[in-house]
Amino acid sequence: MMADGETARVRACLGGFRWHGLECRPYKEEGDAAFRNISRQILFDEPAQDCELRYFEMGAGGYSSLERHQHTHAVIVLRGRGQCLLGTTVRKVATFDLVTIPAWTWHQFRATDAEPFGFLCMVNRVRDRPQLPSESDLAALKSFPEVAAFLSS
Amino acid sequence: MMADGETARVRACLGGFRWHGLECRPYKEEGDAAFRNISRQILFDEPAQDCELRYFEMGAGGYSSLERHQHTHAVIVLRGRGQCLLGTTVRKVATFDLVTIPAWTWHQFRATDAEPFGFLCMVNRVRDRPQLPSESDLAALKSFPEVAAFLSS
């Protein structure tokens, strides 16, 4: 039942949203989702913790994949500003804004063309795989002019 | 199985590490733990998420309670710099540094006397109550000169 400082850990930020000893990974390992100019660092992934905390960053003009799933996301922007598709709504978000993405909500993050955009994302350790939009899902989303403009930006 | 933007949520940061519609709460609701000049905002606390994400901030000279518990903490500093007791080790931490606090590890955060110090803390939704140090626990901790200096700072 005892532990001490030997097993605790401080991981220093090196500046520029990189951390000591953490690999800057590809955004996705596999699959055919469309995404651009985005990386992933897993900040916390401990068996004793029921969630993981990841840092995603996209360069200017980058975007995450458009997807939905049963599990939810809790997001806090750490760097820059961008836009977020949430269902059929497009929202501007900036540093330290909070975004909750409920179950089965289509979502995508996009950086502006001017600067990098980065955010923390908390997610359950046990979760389902993302679902990508079918052609008919995309057509339905694009029937909303704001969403169509977002997806073609 | 469908949800849309109506149920999604963007919560704007108002600047100064305050968020729209979020209450800045007392650090602890009860108990006799010693702490000073510290507040708590619960950023994410959704039933669908297996962890909560809270933002704690202490003013200059503030500190959290000295405690330990079975559950673990995943911490990312968002504002300023401070010190962290981890078991029998004292570590300096600064913005965006990451701290993992394992089970049953005595821990306490302290701001410097110069500026506010704030951090995110991810914690399992289902968790045990913190344990406070007994007189003999405190004496054992203070046998380490670095820890004694930290606790009396």
This model of the complex carries an ipTM of: 0.92
- B8 vs A102: CB contact, 8 Å cut-off? yes
Q: From the CA of B141, how many Å to the nearest CA of chain A?
A: 11
A101 has a chain B CB within 8 A of its CB:
yes
**What is the arithmetic mean of pLDDT over B30-55?**
90
**What is the arithmetic mean of pLDDT over B106-114?**
96
- A10 vs B98: CB contact, 8 Å cut-off? yes
Position B29 scores a pLDDT of 63
pLDDT mean across residues, chain B: 92
B16: left (phi over 0), alpha (psi -120 to 50) or beta: left
Looking at B13, B24, B51, B121, which residue is catalytic?
B121
Residue B74 pLDDT greater than 60, yes or no: yes
Q: Across chain B, where does the E strand assignment appear?
A: 9-11, 13-15, 18-19, 25-26, 36-44, 51-63, 73-79, 81-86, 89-94, 98-101, 107-111, 117-124
Using CA coordinates, name the residue in chain B closest to A106: B4
**Residue segments in chain A with a per-residue pLDDT below the cut of 50:** 1-7
- Give tens-digit pLDDT for B78-88: 999 999 999 99
Q: How far apart are CA B23 and CA B30, in angstroms?
A: 17
Position A64 scores a pLDDT of 95
- A53 vs B74: CB contact, 8 Å cut-off? yes
- A43 vs B89: CB contact, 8 Å cut-off? no
**What is the arithmetic mean of pLDDT over B24-43?**
84
A/B interface, count of CB pairs below 8 Å: 173
Position A1 scores a pLDDT of 36
For the entire predicted model, the pTM comes to 0.93
Which H/E stretch holds residue A138? Answer: helix A135-142
